[in-house]
Amino acid sequence: MNVQQLKLLFELKALQNLQGKKEAPTTSFHDLFHELLTTETNEETETIRPSLPLMTTEETHAPTYEKGNTPLSSNSMQQWIDEAATKYDVDPKLIYAVIRHESNFNPQAKSRAGAMGLMQLMPSTARMLGVQDAFDPKQNIEGGTKYLRQLLDRYDGNMALALAAYNAGPRNVDKHGGIPPFRETMNYVKKVMQTYYATSRIV
């Protein structure tokens, strides 16, 4: 474990102490992804953005989604995530974790604020990233991953700050000199990092 990983673990621990919850047990990365898409769980469906409409259990865990007449399988989504991860040098586990807490793997998710698709890109952010159709899962994943790369570079690889900026915007992170004291953002960073570390062993 390197210094950066230790730093992230300390940050996660601090966030956990604020909420009084323990980290989820470690499990297989790809197994978790397929489980999230294909099985019922006892975990309550949560939406990180308050304005993101709640999805039914069937929608949350369906193995495929339809875009036009083209079915979207979990294998296709996994391939696009892996491709974007390689292209932008972002850990695929982080992309999975962000998608899990942004849209729960629903490529048609849209918040009242206008955030769209798997990685909940705002229209202005999508344009900046060159995403023409934010509801196209491949474009959305690539755009969201590119944005994560930019934020990781901006904050010298600090995952917690990059995630805080992804949720609350870089201006708020810069203004507060760290994770903004917003309940939504603090919960978001904690939960995404918990999912990330819970999938630390890749098959």
pTM: 0.70
Q: 58, 102, 142, 184: which one is catalytic?
A: 102
| Contact predicate 123/116, CB 8 Å | yes
Alpha-carbon separation of residue 16 from 22, 24, 45, 183, 199 (angstroms): 7, 11, 20, 13, 17
Instruction: Indicate the class that CATH gives domain 74-198.
Output: mainly alpha
102 is catalytic: yes
Alpha helices in 20-136 (DSSP H): 29-38, 57-61, 74-88, 92-102, 123-128
For residue 110, the cross-strand partners are 116
Domain range annotation of the chain: 74-198
Using CA atoms, how far apart are residues 8 and 52, in angstroms rounded to an integer?
28
Question: What pLDDT, on the 0 to 100 scale, is given for residue 6?
Answer: 53
Helix (H, G, I), strand (E, B) or coil at 47: coil
In tens, the pLDDT along 39-49 reads: 333 333 333 33
Position 35 pLDDT exceeds 70? no
Alpha-carbon separation of residue 182 from 52, 178, 187 (angstroms): 17, 11, 9
